[in-house]
Structure 1
Amino acid sequence: MKINKILETVSDYQKLFTEDATFIVSDLEKYLYYRPGRIDFGFKPGDKIVEGTLMERAMKQNKKIVARVEKEQSKFGFPYIATVIPITDEEGVVGAMAVAFSTETQDMVINMSADLARVTGEIRESATEFSTSAAELANTNQRIAGESKELQAEIAGIQEIVNLINIISDKTHILGLNAAIEAARVGDKGRGFAVVAEEIRKLAQQTKFSAQDIRNKINQSLHRLNELVQSIQNLAAISEEQSAMAQQLTAAIEEISGVAEDLKNIAFKLK
């Protein structure tokens, strides 16, 4: 009888699988062979076949059945995956042989792949926001750098005006000095003119001192501005580098996210 030959060789079949596999052989009424693996249905040789199981269905339908049984549908209180084939001879179906595995590893892969897809999705969103912020920061720094250079040019223009004031004060001072000399030459008639000439010389001298003070302060401001511009340029370079790195990071995470999504889809197809 064919079923007896299977019982004689079933131990050889077992070598094709890992120790996690549970092997079952039955005739039409009872279990003839049972070796539990990671999962244990609690059968013993001689026990009657449990109704509604995959083995019973395979024998009734006379066809191979490969199925995943969830915990909610399981008659044994735990999920499992099983392959069942009917055993036939010239008289028809005489029994069945089944190999069953725990879904623990598969469920772990499914859950991990789903978590990975979720986490990489969150990281992708954060990386996209970071990349956008880095690009905005780089643009802002470039704009500030441009405005700082414009301010440098304006200060340089003010320096030119101060230089011009200084030249005018020098000429005014000489003019006042010449006027004083001329007033002294004409004597008493030039006394009033001498007073005006002296005031002109004083005003020219004060203007010169003020212009020098302004020049010193402008030079100090320009020195600080030059340092600020240099710092802004350095920051702009760093920001541009960060922006480029952020774009590379976003691209890499996009690729990882795609792999994670593929892994999740593959894992769910195993169910």
Structure 2
Amino acid sequence: MHAKLQAAIDSIDFYQVTYPEDACIIVADTERVIAYKPGKKVDLKVCVGDPVDKYRGTTTEKALSSGRFIREERSTEDFGMAYIASAQPIFEGGQVIGVISAILSNEKMDHMRLLATELSSSVEEMTATNEELAKASVDVSNRLEELSRFSESMTGDIQQINAIVDLVKDLAMKSKILGLNASIEAARSGEHGRGFAVVATEIQKMSQSSTESADSITNQLESIKQAIDQVNESANQIAAFTQQFSTSMYELTDAYKGVNSTAEKLMHISEVKN
């Protein structure tokens, strides 16, 4: 047996403990397995003396036949467990005389990839939800601005109506004075002013009715104005909260993007590179 192969066999325990994870070690010459050290849990059930051709297509066989270092992530197809294998050819005089391989379970890597994938998926969903909420809050803010403009327009209309009501009150007052004067003149005219007295009475009634109607309109307009003021105040409070909420959503979206970036880095780290 070549001295280098014997040295590899003699050092197989040392090679195994240098790995931070549970691992099994295989040493083979160009024809067959010459040493095998199973791990505590990682055991491919390789037997010493097995021909290398039995494991054709494995990382160990490929490194032996190609004469180069190979690291691969393999599925459960070959040995019933998913694993990560690293195989280093052993040379003597420029010729490949054997290979030493280390096989580690990739359970933790798979678990980390799964967590990273789930995290990335969750972050994408939360980011999409936050963006929708932010857009909705902007839409609410726009609607509130429209409501505020409408309220301002109604306030202006109320002021114009109040001006008209004031004019009606003024006319009613003048009509009342006119009716009083007419009543006085009718009284002075005696029998001849009786018809004029009826007209004067009707003018005073109309004046009183107009004044009462104008007062009623004024009171109703004041109630409407107070309601509009309350709506404006509530709208302004909601608009301020919506703006703050929208800002918070965008900040949260940025934070989610940072988390997603971390998840992508985790997935990148968990990839096995040759």
Judge same fold: TM > 0.5, yes or no.
yes
Q: 1:269 offset after TM fit, Å? A: 5.7
2:235 pairs with 1:232: yes
How big is each residue's C-alpha offset from its partner over 1:18-58, in whole Å with a ceiling of 9 and x where there is no partner?
24111122334443332222321112444444341333333
2:76 pairs with 1:71: yes
2:116 pairs with 1:113: yes
How do 1:46-85 residues align onto structure 2 when only pairs under 5 Å count? 46-49=49-52, 50-52=54-56, 53-72=58-77, 74=78, 76-85=79-88
The verdict on how the C-alpha distance between 1:242 and 1:104 changes in structure 2, with shifts beyond 3 A counting, is same
AA of the residue aligned to 1:113? A
What CA distance in whole angstroms lies between the structure 2 residues aligned with 1:234 and 1:269? 55
What CA distance in whole angstroms lies between the structure 2 residues aligned with 1:117 and 1:31? 43
AA of the residue aligned to 1:187? G
The verdict on how the C-alpha distance between 1:264 and 1:195 changes in structure 2, with shifts beyond 3 A counting, is same
How do 1:120-135 residues align onto structure 2 when only pairs under 5 Å count? 120-135=123-138
Find the partner of 2:139 among 131, 136, 140.
Answer: 136
CA contact (8 A) 2:12 2:37 kept: no
Q: 1:77 offset after TM fit, Å? A: 2.5
- The two structures have a TM-score, normalised by structure 2, of 0.87
Q: What SS does the corresponding residue of 2:11 show, helix, strand or coil? A: helix
The verdict on how the C-alpha distance between 1:203 and 1:59 changes in structure 2, with shifts beyond 3 A counting, is closer
AA of the residue aligned to 1:5? A
CA contact (8 A) 1:113 1:267 kept: no
AA of the residue aligned to 1:256? V
How big is each residue's C-alpha offset from its partner over 1:236-258, in whole Å with a ceiling of 9 and x where there is no partner?
22122222222222333233334
Larger mean CA deviation between 147-156 and 46-55 belongs to 46-55
How do 1:27-42 residues align onto structure 2 when only pairs under 5 Å count? 27-37=29-39, 38-42=41-45
Larger mean CA deviation between 138-147 and 83-92 belongs to 83-92
The verdict on how the C-alpha distance between 1:55 and 1:215 changes in structure 2, with shifts beyond 3 A counting, is closer
AA of the residue aligned to 1:129? E
The verdict on how the C-alpha distance between 1:162 and 1:124 changes in structure 2, with shifts beyond 3 A counting, is same
Find the partner of 1:173 among 172, 176, 194.
Answer: 176
User: Over the residues paired in the alignment, what is the CA RMSD in angstroms?
Assistant: 2.3
Find the partner of 2:158 among 124, 130, 155.
Answer: 155
Q: What SS does the corresponding residue of 2:45 show, helix, strand or coil? A: coil
2:17 pairs with 1:15: yes
AA of the residue aligned to 2:178? L
Residue segments in structure 2 that go unaligned for 5+ positions in a row: none
Q: What SS does the corresponding residue of 2:22 show, helix, strand or coil? A: coil
Q: 1:197 offset after TM fit, Å? A: 0.9
- The two structures have a TM-score, normalised by structure 1, of 0.88
Larger mean CA deviation between 224-233 and 127-136 belongs to 224-233
The verdict on how the C-alpha distance between 1:91 and 1:214 changes in structure 2, with shifts beyond 3 A counting, is closer
CA contact (8 A) 1:183 1:193 kept: yes
How do 1:197-208 residues align onto structure 2 when only pairs under 5 Å count? 197-208=200-211
Aligned length: 269
What CA distance in whole angstroms lies between the structure 1 residues aligned with 2:163 and 2:96? 110
Identity across matched positions, percent? 31
What CA distance in whole angstroms lies between the structure 2 residues aligned with 1:265 and 1:30? 36
CA contact (8 A) 1:117 1:264 kept: no
Matched residue, 2:101: 98
CA contact (8 A) 2:175 2:207 kept: yes
Q: What SS does the corresponding residue of 1:131 show, helix, strand or coil? A: helix
Residue segments in structure 1 that go unaligned for 5+ positions in a row: none
Q: 1:161 offset after TM fit, Å? A: 1.7
How big is each residue's C-alpha offset from its partner over 1:210-242, in whole Å with a ceiling of 9 and x where there is no partner?
211222222222222222221122112212222
